[in-house]
Amino acid sequence: MQFKPRTITCAVVSALMVPALPAGAAEAITLDPVTVSAILPERLEAVPGSFTVVPERELRDSVPFSIKEALARTPGIHSVGEDSFGLGLNIGVRGMDPRRTSRTLLLEDGMPLFLAPYGDPSAHYSTPLDRVERIEVVKGSGQVLYGPQTVGGMINFVTRPVPVKGFAGSVALAAGNHAFGSAHANLGYGGEMGGVMLDVLQKKGDGVRNNHDFDVREYTLKGQLNISERQTLIAKVSQYREDSHVSETGLGTLEYGEDKFQAPTGRQDRFEHERTAFQVQHLVQLGERAMLSTQVYQVRADRASFRQINDPGGFDDAGNNATGYSILDRCDTPATEANAAACGGRWRPRQYEYWGIEPRLDFGHRLFGIENEAVVGIRYHVEDIRRNQFRAADPLAQNQAWAEAFGTHREDIRIDTRAWSYYAQNTFHLGHWALTPGVRVENYEISTDIVRADGEPQDNPESALTNRQTVVLPGFGVAWNGIANTTIFAGVHKGFAPPRPDRDINEGDGANTAVVDRTRAEESTNWEIGVRSSYFKGVRFESTLFHTDFDEIVINNGEGAFVNGGKSRMAGIEFAGRVDFGRIFDTPHNIYLMGSYTHLSTAKFLKDGPNPEDGIVQGDRLPYAPRHLASLSIGYQHPVGIDARIGVDHVSRQQPDTFARALPPVDAALSGLAGEIPAYTLVNASVTYRPQGSKATLFLSGHNLADREYLVSRVDGMVAGRKRQVFGGVRYDF
List, for the chain, all residue ranges whose pLDDT scores fall below the cut of 50. 1-35, 463, 507-511
Q: Is 675 left (phi over 0), alpha (psi -120 to 50) or beta?
A: left
Distance CA 377, CA 297 (A): 16
Answer for the pair 662, 671: CB distance below 8 angstroms, yes or no.
no
Answer for the pair 266, 336: CB distance below 8 angstroms, yes or no.
no
Distance CA 47, CA 477 (A): 8
pLDDT single digits (tens) 535-594: 999 999 999 999 999 988 888 887 767 788 889 999 999 999 999 999 999 999 999 999
AA identity, residue 407: G
pTM (2 d.p.)? 0.92
Q: What residue ranges define each of the domains in the chain, with the CATH number in brackets?
A: 5-733 (2.40.170.20)
Q: How do strand 104-108 and strand 153-159 relate by DSSP bridges?
A: parallel
Distance of CA 239 to CAs 17, 113, 213, 277, 358, Å? 29, 13, 21, 7, 22
Distance of CA 251 to CAs 234, 348, 657, 706, Å? 47, 21, 16, 24
Closest CA to 186 of 226, 204, 159, 165: 159
Helix (H) or strand (E) holding 59: helix 56-62
pLDDT single digits (tens) 435-452: 999 999 999 999 888 888
**What pLDDT is attached to residue 10?**
43
**What pLDDT is attached to residue 513?**
53
| Other residues' Cβ atoms within 10 Å of the Cβ of residue 270 | 19
Q: What is the dihedral of CA 654, 658, 659, 661, to 10 degrees?
A: 60
